[in-house]
């Protein structure tokens, strides 16, 4: 066993954005484990100050191409909560469809193109043989279904413009709705096949470590609304989420970290499945019943299985929502007022938090964000550190340990682009 090691993982592959990791082992114990997010800092929160409320969502969607719909919708929710705007029933249904589309294409990209190479022991999908080409096509088809749904509901697959404060500006045609439903139905078998594959290979990817799990809980597994629930059963209102978050500055990273109620925690698909699995669509839960016994799980690699089950749930719930006719309707009246609005929803990688202070003209005076990856960093570092110690006890060498650590990082599915904007600037 190597009692003293210095591990440096540079430009970790098959994740969203750029990061490095350094790990120091002394006397068989990990004394330092640092996730060094290296994405350039982008000052979105400061850029919002002085901006009119009706411009916010189009700007915040640019934080990340991967999670753009989540940022658009969360910023809209914060503004509406501040102004006291109550969106229509159809608007909420369309927003559910839009966030579903975001999760579907994002999970598909991650699982088929980032995770499967690890499962098959190759560097990338480019190393897949002809016998796995059909599997790759499945991933492309599921991603395409998510992109198409986002396009017809939100206007684009990335940075969707149709959703605004008070409703939607454009609406899908009947032909588009029929096509979206057809594409989603064609995905069910492909997703079920992936769930089977991930479940069958669970034994290759397993490391359990207890942490707290935090996510939105509701009665229909919606990503939009609910109460914040922890694995310990505690519940808090969305509007109070920020009061339980503590920012932790990481001097070695271009992103901050967060604690929840003074402790490390984890958010994302695994957390959602742990706290809300009983609220899956009836059709979904019937088809994946034998897999649900895995949850609640303390194995971070089960985040991938949770993501796959979520994709099936997205397909089933979205098909049902598309079955309700979509009519053209005007925007709800919006009257600006001095207020503070909080938006909370589930982005693909976990609970996304927005706080916006607005003046009586609807101009932003202060903005604060808490990104899922920022919330996961502390738990990631501690779990990876414990994992390395476990691998050392098994006698793995330096090269193998570094590869296993990369696989664990990918299991968390971090988004470095979203995480890298925590600084405030004094422009004077």
Is residue 425 domain-resident? no
Q: What is the largest CA-CA distance in the chain?
A: 68
Q: Are residues 18 and 128 in the same domain?
A: no
User: What burial class does residue 8 get, using C-beta atoms within 10 Å of its C-beta: 0-12 exposed, 13-18 middle, 19+ buried?
Assistant: exposed
Cα 214 to the chain's mean position, in Å? Answer: 13
Is residue 236 domain-resident? yes
Q: Which residues contact 217 (CB under 8 A, 6 or more apart)?
A: 226, 227, 228, 229, 235, 275, 276, 279
Q: Are residues 110 and 210 in the same domain?
A: yes
Q: What is the pLDDT of residue 294?
A: 95
Q: What is the pLDDT of residue 2?
A: 64
Q: What is the pLDDT of residue 271?
A: 96
User: What burial class does residue 210 get, using C-beta atoms within 10 Å of its C-beta: 0-12 exposed, 13-18 middle, 19+ buried?
Assistant: exposed
Is residue 157 domain-resident? yes
Torsional sign, CA 111, 113, 114, 118: positive
Q: Are 414 and 19 in contact (CB under 8 A)?
A: yes
Alpha carbon distances (Å) from 141 to 108, 146, 242, 297: 9, 9, 38, 29
Q: Are residues 11 and 91 in the same domain?
A: no
Q: Are residues 318 and 355 in the same domain?
A: yes
- pTM for the structure as a whole: 0.92
CATH number at residue 218: 1.10.645.10
Q: Are residues 27 and 153 in the same domain?
A: no
Q: Are residues 125 and 9 in the same domain?
A: no
Is residue 331 domain-resident? no
Is residue 329 domain-resident? no
- Which pair of tokens denotes residue 321? 């929502």
Q: What is the pLDDT of residue 40?
A: 59
Q: Are residues 21 and 68 in the same domain?
A: no
- Which pair of tokens denotes residue 254? 């271009």
Phi then psi for residue 362, to 5 deg, are: 85, 20
Q: Are residues 144 and 222 in the same domain?
A: yes
Q: Are residues 11 and 109 in the same domain?
A: no
The neighbouring-strand residues paired with 347 are 350
Q: What is the pLDDT of residue 267?
A: 94
Fill in the DSSP letter of residue 191: H
Q: What is the pLDDT of residue 280?
A: 97
Q: Where are the beta strands (DSSP E) in 195-329?
A: 212-217, 227-230, 235-236, 245-248, 257-260, 265-266
Is residue 332 domain-resident? no
Alpha carbon distances (Å) from 376 to 194, 220, 273, 321, 379: 25, 25, 16, 32, 6
User: What burial class does residue 323 get, using C-beta atoms within 10 Å of its C-beta: 0-12 exposed, 13-18 middle, 19+ buried?
Assistant: exposed
In which element (H, E) is residue 149 found?
helix 133-154
Q: Are residues 101 and 67 in the same domain?
A: yes
Q: Are 344 and 353 in contact (CB under 8 A)?
A: yes
Number of domains comprising the chain: 2
What's the rounded Cα separation, in Å, for the pair 162 and 168?
Answer: 5
The sheet carrying 265-266 orders its strands as: 235-236, 227-230, 212-217, 265-266
| Domain of 22, in residue numbers | 5-37
User: What burial class does residue 54 get, using C-beta atoms within 10 Å of its C-beta: 0-12 exposed, 13-18 middle, 19+ buried?
Assistant: middle
Is residue 13 domain-resident? yes
Q: Are residues 49 and 145 in the same domain?
A: yes
Q: Are residues 253 and 341 in the same domain?
A: yes
pLDDT under 70 in the chain at which residues? 1-2, 11-18, 38-43, 416-428
Is residue 428 domain-resident? no
What's the rounded Cα separation, in Å, for the pair 267 and 346?
Answer: 9
Q: Are 349 and 67 in contact (CB under 8 A)?
A: yes
Cα 118 to the chain's mean position, in Å? Answer: 20
Angle at alpha carbon of residue 266, lines to 261 and 268, rounded to 5°: 130
């Amino acid at each position: 066993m190597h009692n003293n090691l210095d591990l440096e993982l540079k430009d970790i592959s098959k994740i969203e954005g750029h990061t490095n990791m350094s790990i120091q082992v002394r006397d068989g114990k990990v004394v330092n484990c640092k996730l060094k997010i290296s994405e350039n800092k982008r000052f979105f929160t400061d850029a919002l100050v002085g901006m009119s409320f009706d411009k916010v969502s189009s700007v915040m969607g640019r934080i990340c191409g991967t999670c753009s719909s989540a940022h658009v919708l969360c910023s809209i929710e914060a503004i509406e909560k501040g102004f006291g705007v109550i969106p229509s029933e159809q608007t909420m249904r369309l927003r559910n469809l839009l966030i579903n589309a975001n999760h579907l294409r994002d999970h598909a990209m991650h699982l088929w193109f980032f995770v499967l190479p690890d499962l098959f022991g190759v560097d990338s999908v480019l190393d897949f043989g002809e016998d796995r080409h059909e599997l790759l096509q499945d991933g492309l088809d599921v991603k395409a279904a998510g992109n198409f749904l986002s396009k017809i509901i939100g206007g684009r697959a990335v940075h969707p413009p149709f959703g605004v404060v008070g409703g939607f500006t454009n609406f899908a045609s009947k032909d588009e709705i029929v096509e979206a439903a057809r594409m989603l139905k064609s995905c069910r078998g492909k997703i079920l096949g992936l769930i089977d594959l991930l479940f069958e290979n669970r034994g290759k990817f397993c490391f359990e470590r207890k942490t707290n799990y935090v996510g939105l809980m509701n009665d229909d597994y919606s990503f939009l609304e609910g109460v914040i629930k922890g694995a310990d059963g505690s519940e808090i209102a969305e509007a109070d989420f920020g009061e339980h978050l503590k920012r932790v500055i990481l001097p070695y990273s271009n992103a901050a970290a967060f604690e929840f109620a003074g402790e490390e925690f984890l958010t994302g698909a695994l957390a959602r499945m742990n706290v809300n699995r009983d609220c899956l669509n009836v059709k979904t839960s019937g088809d994946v019943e034998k897999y649900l016994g895995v949850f609640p799980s303390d194995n971070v690699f089960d985040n991938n299985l949770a993501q796959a089950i979520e994709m099936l749930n997205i397909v089933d719930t979205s098909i049902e929502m598309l079955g309700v006719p979509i009519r053209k309707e005007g925007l709800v009246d919006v009257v600006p007022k001095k207020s503070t609005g909080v938006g909370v929803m589930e982005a693909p990688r976990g609970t996304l938090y927005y706080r916006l202070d607005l003046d009586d003209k609807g101009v932003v005076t202060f903005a604060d964000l808490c990104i899922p990856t920022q919330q996961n960093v502390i738990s990631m570092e501690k779990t990876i550190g414990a994992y390395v110690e476990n691998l050392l006890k098994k006698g793995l060498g330096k090269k193998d340990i570094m590869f296993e650590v990369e696989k664990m990082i990918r299991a968390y599915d971090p988004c470095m682009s979203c995480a890298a904007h925590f600084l405030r600037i004094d422009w004077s």
